[in-house]
């Protein structure tokens, strides 16, 4: 499973990259997290589950988020999860509008938060002690 995080930031600082890389390394056998700039050519398929981060979206706790990721993984119709930090013009409908908070965050903070929550979701799915 590929999990693509689409950010508007053109560059993520080294410290943020290193923090996110640690979480990515921990789930490398289960999923690959890729950072994609929204300015790059966008290729979205019908086999992608598209999530829009939106302060007005639904809020899921970590266990609910893990359950949603598990559902997507178990559905043979999906090959990728795309997480967008901003609405994209050529996507009319998102499969999920998700709010991480009512606060607005910088892309670098979002990248770290998403990496950690994705790692936490896989820890919950695999029943490891990280979440507990």
Q: What is the DSSP string of 45-108?
A: -TTEEEEEEEEEEE---HHHHHHHHHHHHH-TT--EEEEESS--TT----SEEE-S-SS---HH
* Structural domains of the chain, ranges and CATH numbers in brackets: 2-125 (3.40.1280.10)
Q: For the whole prediction, is pTM greater than 0.95?
A: no
- Mean pLDDT, the chain cut into blocks of 10 residues (132 residues total): 90 92 94 88 88 95 96 95 88 92 92 95 91 60
Q: What is the pLDDT of residue 132?
A: 61
Q: What is the pLDDT of residues 102-124, one digit of tens each?
A: 999 999 999 999 999 999 999 99
């Amino acid at each position: 499973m590929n999990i693509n995080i689409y950010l508007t930031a053109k560059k993520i600082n080294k410290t943020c990259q290193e923090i996110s890389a640690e979480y990515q390394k921990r789930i490398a056998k289960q999923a690959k997290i890729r950072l994609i700039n929204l300015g790059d050519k966008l290729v979205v398929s019908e086999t992608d589950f598209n999530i829009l981060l939106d302060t007005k979206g639904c809020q899921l706790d970590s266990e609910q988020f893990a359950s949603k990721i598990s559902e997507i993984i178990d559905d043979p119709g999906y090959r990728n999860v795309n997480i967008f930090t901003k609405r994209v013009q050529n996507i009319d409908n998102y499969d999920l509008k998700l709010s991480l908070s009512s606060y607005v965050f910088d892309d670098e903070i979002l990248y770290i938060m998403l990496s950690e929550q994705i790692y936490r979701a896989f820890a919950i799915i695999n029943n490891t002690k990280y979440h507990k």
